Amino acid sequence: MSGAPQQLAFDLAPRPALGKEDFLVSPANEAALALIEQWPHWPHHAVVLEGPAQAGKSHLGQVWRLASHAAQVAARDVSDADVARLTEAKAILVENLEQGIGDERVLFHLLNAARERKLSVLLTTRKPPAEMTIALPDLGSRLRAVPRVAIAPPDEALLRAVLVKHFSDRQLSVEPAVIAYLVLRMERSMAMADALVAALDARALAAKRRITRALAAEILEELGHAVDAGAGDTMPSSHSD
C-alpha cells in the first residue's frame, strides 16, 4: 500500500509561565496585581481573590506563594491532616473555593489560627463566598467578611496580548490581522482565548494549513461564534517546528 503517511498531531500542552514577569497587566487585573505587590502590608490578614476561569488567579496565587513562602492547599482537599503543615507556614494559599470545601470546620479553624498567629491568607475563587452554599454558618459569615479583590473579564487589549502569548508559547507566528479578527469576534474570556489557540494549533498541524483568517473563521464557527462572510486566506501565518 503506497502513499504519503498521515502526519500525527500530538497534544503536547505548552508549559505555563507563572513568574511575575509573565503576568499580563491591564485595567481588568491591575487592582489584583497591586494587592499581591502590597503584601506583607495588607490591611487585613486574609483576602479573597475572585475572578472568572483562567483570569489569572492561579498565576497571581503562585506569585504570592513564592513571595510569602505560603503553604498551599486546594479548598476541596482541606482536612485535619493539613492543619499542622498549614499553620506552621508563614502564609496560607487556599485555592478554588467554588469547587467545594473538604472540611468546613477545618477551614474555619485555619482562618482563626491564622488570625491569632498573624499569618496571611489568600483564598481564590470564581465566585464570591456570598453566592456559595456553605453549611457551617460561622464559616460562611467569616468568609463573607473577608475583603475581596476581583479580576474583571478581560478587555480587548488584554485579550490581544493573551492570544499573542498563547501562540508564542506554542511557537506559532500569527499575523496581527488574524489576532485582531479573533479579538473582535470571540467571547471575551481567558478560557475562550486558550480554547481558540489550542483548536487553531491542532487544526493547522493536522491539516498542514497556515493559521489565517479563513481558518480562524472556521474555528470560531465551530465554537459557536458568528463570523462574517469576508474571511479569506489573505493574511498568511506559519506554524514553526
CA distances in angstroms from 122 to 13, 57, 164, 199, listed in the order given? 28, 10, 30, 33
Rounded Cα gap, residues 68 and 90, in angstroms: 7
**Better-scored residue on pLDDT, 14 or 91:** 91
Residue 237's pLDDT is 39
At 21, the pLDDT band (50, 70, 90 cuts) reads: low
Q: Compute the mean pLDDT over every residue in the chain, rounded to the nearest whole number.
A: 84
User: Residue 93 in contact with residue 65, Cβ under 8 Å?
Assistant: yes
Average pLDDT score over residue span 62-69: 94
Q: What's the confidence (pLDDT) of residue 233?
A: 42
Q: Give the model's pLDDT for residue 20.
A: 58
Instruction: Provide long-range contacts, Cβ within 8 A and 24+ apart, for 180-186.
Output: 181/213, 181/216, 181/217, 181/231, 181/235, 182/216, 182/220, 183/156, 183/159, 185/220, 185/225, 185/226, 185/227, 186/159, 186/220, 186/225
Q: Is the pLDDT of residue 163 over 90?
A: yes
Q: Select the more confidently predicted residue: 15 or 117.
A: 117
Q: Where are the domains of the chain?
A: 20-150, 156-224
> So what's the pLDDT on residue 153?
85
- In this prediction, residues 144-165 reach a mean pLDDT of 91
* Second-level CATH architecture of 156-224: Orthogonal Bundle (1.10)
User: Does the pLDDT value for residue 202 go beyond 90?
Assistant: yes
Question: Do the domains 20-150 and 156-224 sit in the same CATH topology, yes or no?
Answer: no
The model's pLDDT over 175-192, given as tens digits with 9 standing for 90+, comes to 999 999 999 999 988 889
- Mean pLDDT, rounded, for 157-179: 92
pLDDT of residue 170: 92
Distant-in-sequence, close-in-space partners of 38: CB < 8 Å, separation ≥ 6: none
Judged against a pLDDT cut of 80, whether residue 236 lies above it is answered with: no
Phi, psi (5° rounding) for residue 185? -120, -15
The CATH number of 20-150 is which of 3.40.50.800, 3.10.20.30, 3.40.220.10, 3.40.50.300? 3.40.50.300
pLDDT (tens digit, 9 = 90+) per residue, 121-139? 999 999 999 999 999 999 9
pLDDT band at 19 (very low <50, low <70, confident <90, very high): low
* Grid cell for residue 124: 481564590
Return the pLDDT at 14.
Answer: 39
**Residue 13 pLDDT > 80, yes or no?**
no
User: What's the rounded mean pLDDT across residues 207-226?
Assistant: 89
What are the pLDDT digits (tens) for 44-60? 999 999 998 888 899 89
At 127 the pLDDT is 93
* pLDDT of 238 over the 90 cut: no
Instruction: State pTM to two decimals.
Output: 0.71
**Where is pLDDT greater, at 230 or 158?**
158
